[in-house]
Amino acid sequence: MQRIPKSTLKRLALYHRCFLDLKQAGIVKIQSRELSIQMGIESATIRKDFSYLGELGRQGYGYKIDFVLDAFEQVLNIQEKQKCILIGAGNLGRALMNFFTSERFTSELSHAPTALVAAFDNNPSISGLTINHIPILHTDQMIDYIKENQVKYVILAVPSHASQEIVDAITNLGIEGILNLTSTIINAGSMVVHEVDLAIELETLVFTAIQEQVNRKQTTIKDILDL
């Protein structure tokens, strides 16, 4: 498969979620124009994105939901869920644990390619607890657990100052990817890192909303801000 741009990769995840929702709603097929309207993405962009996965639809016919989902499953190898651990079980971490074990995630999103199997924290008051069948273990156990359970993915939710030390500790243990929620840049070597800074995401939301106002009123950002 040819190298896929990062912007397309992010949209592919959105497409996958959309098609899962369509299947859940009992929809068998969707036209390109309908998908474009539903997702707010131009049809040409959708066709270009899907071209990285092969021929998923035909002009004038649209996309068969099951066929597209089969293509996603082949790419993600969903039949073999990869083990994921959470490092940092503070307020954010425990909220994530509740989400990943919620009824919606375990039913509607059961096709997720990863499974959260454990959480780690250096706070002795919470290590040893279990949240919805997911154990919270002390970080002293983390390296041995990764090795013994062939963990492939990590969600990093520790304080920013501790993030690089944690990443250094899990280097060369077979970890393939890190979801970094620490709001700081980390050096992860060959491990793939996906940065999610909630403050930046919120700021991006505001900028996007302003841009939409600019487009609707056919004006400039300066004029919008001066209103």
Residue 155 confidence class, pLDDT cut points 50, 70, 90: very high
Res 136 pLDDT > 90: yes
Average pLDDT over all residues of the chain: 84
**Residue owning tokens 């009123």:** 217
Long-range contacts: 163-169, Cβ < 8 Å, 24+?
Answer: 166/87, 166/139, 167/191, 169/142, 169/143
Strand partners, 64: 29
Q: Is 157:96 a contact under the CB 8 Å cutoff?
A: yes
pLDDT value of position 53? 77
pTM recorded for the entire structure: 0.72
Res 63 pLDDT > 60: yes
Q: Is 101:132 a contact under the CB 8 Å cutoff?
A: yes
C-alpha distance from residue 150 to each of 102, 138, 173, 225 (Å): 24, 18, 8, 52
Q: What is the pLDDT of residues 6-44, one digit of tens each?
A: 778 878 888 888 888 888 889 999 888 888 888 888 888
Q: What is the mean pLDDT of residues 55-82?
A: 75
Res 85 pLDDT > 70: yes
Q: Which amino acid is at 83?
A: K
**Residue owning tokens 């390296």:** 143
The first and second tokens of residue 92, run together, are 């954010």
pLDDT value of position 154? 96
Residue 175 confidence class, pLDDT cut points 50, 70, 90: very high
Strand partners, 118: 85
pLDDT value of position 49? 86
Q: If you write DSSP's letter for every residue of 25-47 in order, what string do you get?
A: TT--EE-HHHHHHHHT--HHHHH
pLDDT value of position 31? 86
